[in-house]
Amino acid sequence: MTPAKTIFKRIIDGEIPAKIVLENERFLAFHDVSPQAPVHVLVIPKHEIVSLADVGPADAAWLGGIMVFIRDVAEHLGLSKGYRVVTNIGSDGGQSVPHLHFHILGQRQLQWPPG
């Protein structure tokens, strides 16, 4: 049986709408539906991978690419005073969608430590 598509795979495939910020052939950035800051954008790879727990040495090149893409998204969003990049991994990490994603949070003073 084919596993069900994640909500993010459905966004990548154009089956459900998203407010897209930037994209290229490998990565996609779109606004989170439940923003936790005035700016809350998700950055995902277009290929399917569950989380950072699933990467290995062969993934180093595109992982570097997604970090640069995140920087580009933050610049595009005008987050000149700073921002936070977070990825949640597994149940203790609070991950609810099993497709690797990085949250970009900004345009307010963020607190530390997170909950």
Q: Tell me which residues touch ligand AMP (CB under 6 A).
A: 7, 18, 32-34, 42, 88, 94-97
Active site (catalytic) residues: 101
Q: How far are the Cα atoms of 2, 13, 18 from residue 65, in angstroms, in the given order?
A: 30, 21, 22
Given the structure tokens 């090149």, which residue do they identify? 61
Is residue 18 within 8 A of residue 97, CB to CB? The reply is no
CB of 16 to ligand AMP, least distance (A): 6
As a whole number of angstroms, the distance between CA 42 and CA 36 comes to: 12
Instruction: In angstroms, give the least distance from the CB of 38 to ligand AMP.
Output: 15
Decide whether 17 or 57 has the Cβ nearer to ligand AMP: 17
Minimum CB–partner distance for residue 104 and ligand AMP (Å)? 11
